[in-house]
Amino acid sequence: MIPFNVPPYVGTELEYVRDAVEKNRKICGDGPYTKMCQRWLEDKLHSEKMLLTTSGTTALEMAAMLCELEPGDEVILPSYTFSSTATAFLREGASLVFVDILPETKNIDPEAIEAAITERTKVVVPVHYAGVACDMDEILRIAGKYDLLVVEDAAQGVSSLYRGRHLGTIGDIGCFSFHETKNYSMGEGGAISVNNPRFRERADVIREKGTNRSNFLRGQVDKYTWVDEGSSFLPSDMNAAYLWGQLQSMEKIFANRMATWDYYDGALSSLCEKGRLELPIIPDGCSHNAHMYYVLLSDLEERTSFISFLKEKGVGSAFHYVPLHSAPAGQRFGRYNGEDNFTTATYERLVRLPLYYGMSDEDREAVVRAVYDYFGEGE
Ligand SMILES: *Cc1c(COP(=O)(O)O)cnc(C)c1O
């Protein structure tokens, strides 16, 4: 069986974890490896302030807290995304307003954002699906015009670029995931890039259980005390040590994933030309991180039979996302604004192929062969 995903492991990680445990004697949060990862990410992504978190979800939760929402304030997000994009803002009492995506990238449609804006709208959340950038120029223009905050869900977008800028560093706040299904991992973990200087100090406080511990450690105040709301959003330094190994090998992981992505894209192009399926589209100005390779079948029925055919051939694949606006909680906590031209259709048609660090040539060839077999076509 060719698995759909294998957690990324390059081989150096355990030595760093051992170092954290035996040499540093520091396994709680904000130890040496956490600081090294944060500084490394700040340099690499050109972020002014990066903080590791326990997950992409908690990075989004921190972002939502920083937005200081009042009950009834509205947050606009795509319906085609992971539940965390929504739950983070729901916890802050926001009303969720789901909108449609664009057919090319499956990213939030800027026109749908503008059409959904009311007097209560406070935040817009572009989700960079598959690590391919949203139309950030247009989203920033709209946010500027209506005075909205922009929280980027860049969970899938670590190391991707939009017009030369790293995803997650463009809006007021950016959120990343280092879950084992993402390109670079620490098991469970994430990071928040606090781009708007207005939020930088409060981000430290929220992450440190509402205390001014960071100011205290920097010698800026002489007492360490409870000053604001907060939680514990800092990961263990053991997890950060694993991530350090991954970051040191970022180029290698990137190149390996991209080779598989390019292979799929080239090998499947003739099926696309014959109109049997659709392949991802990468707009000008976007350089992506090979987070995901997907194909689009014609409808739900074909998607279902395609996935079971691949399974019979020993190939793991996956579909997602049940549109949030039609999920039970989405109906309870949110509303959909505008037409659903592409959200439900994408959910019904999209299938993700196996793509992970270290995938062998034989395995990716077997995946392509299985796809051709499904359509009864020779390569
Ligand atoms: C993975 C993911 C998250 C959540 O990240 P975790 O680290 O799993 O909590 C949020 N949003 C999107 C779009 C994701 O893909």
CA 85 / ligand 1 centre spacing (Å): 8
Q: How far is CA 225 from CA 190, 217, 221, 288, 295, in A?
A: 26, 12, 10, 43, 53
CA triple 120-132-362, angle to 5 deg: 145
Is 6 domain-assigned?
Answer: no
- Do 189 and 127 belong together in one domain? yes
Task: Tell whether ligand 1 has an atom less than 6 A from the beta carbon of residue 84.
Answer: yes
Q: Which of 57, 60, 151 to mutate to test the pocket of ligand 1 (most atoms within 8 A of CB)?
A: 57
- Do 254 and 186 belong together in one domain? no
Q: Which domain holds residue 292?
A: 250-374
Supply the pLDDT for residue 379.
79
CA 88 / ligand 1 centre spacing (Å): 11
Task: Tell whether ligand 1 has an atom less than 6 A from the beta carbon of residue 156.
Answer: yes
Q: What are phi and psi of 96, to 5 degrees?
A: -95, 130
CA 60 / ligand 1 centre spacing (Å): 9
- Do 171 and 313 belong together in one domain? no
Which residue puts its alpha carbon closest to atom 6 of ligand 1?
56
Is 174 domain-assigned?
Answer: yes
Q: DSSP string spanning 79-141?
A: SSS-HHHHHHHHTTTPEEEEE-B-TTT--B-HHHHHHH--TTEEEE--B-GGG----HHHHHH
Q: What is the CATH number of the domain that holds 98?
A: 3.40.640.10
Supply the pLDDT for residue 82.
98
CA dihedral 87, 148, 205, 182 (to 10 degrees): 50
Q: What is the mean pLDDT of each run of 10 residues along the chain (379 residues)?
A: 98 98 96 98 98 98 98 96 98 97 98 98 98 98 98 98 98 98 98 98 96 90 93 97 98 98 98 97 98 98 98 98 97 97 98 98 98 92
What is the biggest distance separating any 2 CA atoms in the chain, rounded to whole angstroms? 73
Q: How far is CA 132 from CA 54, 128, 178, 274, 285, in A?
A: 24, 6, 17, 25, 10
Is 4 domain-assigned?
Answer: no
Q: Which tokens belong to 76?
A: 């606009």
- Do 224 and 155 belong together in one domain? yes
- Do 20 and 125 belong together in one domain? yes
Q: Which of 105, 179, 181 to mutate to test the pocket of ligand 1 (most atoms within 8 A of CB)?
A: 179
- Do 283 and 350 belong together in one domain? yes
- Do 233 and 282 belong together in one domain? no
Supply the pLDDT for residue 112.
98
Task: Please give the Cα distance from 240 to 37 (Å, whole number).
Answer: 7
- Do 49 and 195 belong together in one domain? yes
Supply the pLDDT for residue 377.
84
Which residue puts its alpha carbon closest to atom 14 of ligand 1?
155
Which residue puts its alpha carbon closest to atom 7 of ligand 1?
56
- Do 223 and 305 belong together in one domain? no
Q: What is the CATH number of the domain that holds 334?
A: 3.90.1150.10
Distance from the Cα of residue 80 to its chain's centroid: 13
CA 4 / ligand 1 centre spacing (Å): 17
Q: What are phi and psi of 252, to 5 degrees?
A: -65, -45
Task: Tell whether ligand 1 has an atom less than 6 A from the beta carbon of residue 126.
Answer: no
Count how many domains the chain has: 2
Q: Are 124 and 150 in contact (CB under 8 A)?
A: yes
Task: Tell whether ligand 1 has an atom less than 6 A from the beta carbon of residue 16.
Answer: no
CA 273 / ligand 1 centre spacing (Å): 33
Q: How far is CA 286 from CA 81, 132, 164, 281, in A?
A: 20, 6, 8, 10
- Do 97 and 152 belong together in one domain? yes
CA dihedral 13, 18, 21, 25 (to 10 degrees): -100
CA 52 / ligand 1 centre spacing (Å): 14
- Do 244 and 256 belong together in one domain? no
Region of 46 (left: φ > 0; alpha: ψ -120 to 50; beta: rest) is left
> pTM of the entire structure?
0.98
- Do 109 and 131 belong together in one domain? yes
End-to-end CA distance of the chain: 21
Q: Which tokens belong to 177?
A: 């995931």
